[in-house]
Amino acid sequence: QKEVEQNSGPLSVPEGAIASLNCTYSDRGSQSFFWYRQYSGKSPELIMFIYSNGDKEDGRFTAQLNKASQYVSLLIRDSQPSDSATYLCAAPSGGYNKLIFGAGTRLAVHP
Amino acid sequence: ETGVTQTPRHLVMGMTNKKSLKCEQHLGHNAMYWYKQSAKKPLELMFVYNFKEQTENNSVPSRFSPECPNSSHLFLHLHTLQPEDSALYLCASSQDPGSPLHFGNGTRLTVT
């Protein structure tokens, strides 16, 4: 079983729609979860992190965490073409030292 | 200076060469990391340093040798690499292990 699993996509949404990106993780001891955005040819940049069950909102982005289901998601409201990128989910595994990344979901927002 | 700086940006080396990748962070962070990103594969953690002490070696072959002289600098020494080692090598730092990572721009390595 992969430690952090994401659907590779591509996820295609029209401009202005809500994009929903999902991630599951295997280590029940994980306490912190991160979403990174990576444009083609660039390095990953942090979008959000979440530690507690429930929702965390930052502008157009909402992270949702459900530790019982080992599930974390990222919602992007009012999607823009500039949001087109690969979104990486990350969680610690085997200790807080070891941040493991999923393979990423490619999001395409079309005008 | 940007937060995390990596040099060189691109590197082409033969299998018998020895080269080093350099990373420097100007964020005052205590932890530094090397990750490898290959096409179609997830980011792979290679090494973790906390207060310049290695705390994680993720079963990396010995042809990759990290060095962390202080909390601001991290090197990855390369020798007798294989073509399958061609990838984007990303350095990152964080305030401490478990905190959000800040990535450098990466070194695109090609082994011929």
Burial class (CB in 10 A: 0-12, 13-18, 19+), B76: buried
Q: Which residues of A touch B (CB under 8 A)?
A: 4, 31-32, 34, 36, 42-46, 49, 88, 90, 92, 96-104
Q: What residue in A sits closest to B40 (Cα-Cα)?
A: A103
Sign of the four-CA dihedral A63, A67, A68, A72: positive
Partner-chain contact A45 B103, CB within 8 Å: yes
Output the DSSP codes for B60-84.
--TTEEEEEEETTEEEEEEES--GG
Partner-chain contact A102 B42, CB within 8 Å: yes
Q: According to the per-residue pLDDT averaged within each range, which of A94-98, B40-44, B91-95 is highest?
A: B91-95
d(CA B61, CA B81): 10
Partner-chain contact B42 A101, CB within 8 Å: yes
Do B68 and B32 meet the contact criterion of CB atoms below 8 Å apart? yes
pLDDT at B1: 53
- What percent of chain A has pLDDT above 90? 79
pLDDT at A3: 87
Helix (H, G, I), strand (E, B) or coil at B26: coil
DSSP code of residue B101 = P
Partner-chain contact A99 B45, CB within 8 Å: yes
Give tens-digit pLDDT for A24-55: 999 888 889 999 999 998 999 999 999 999 99
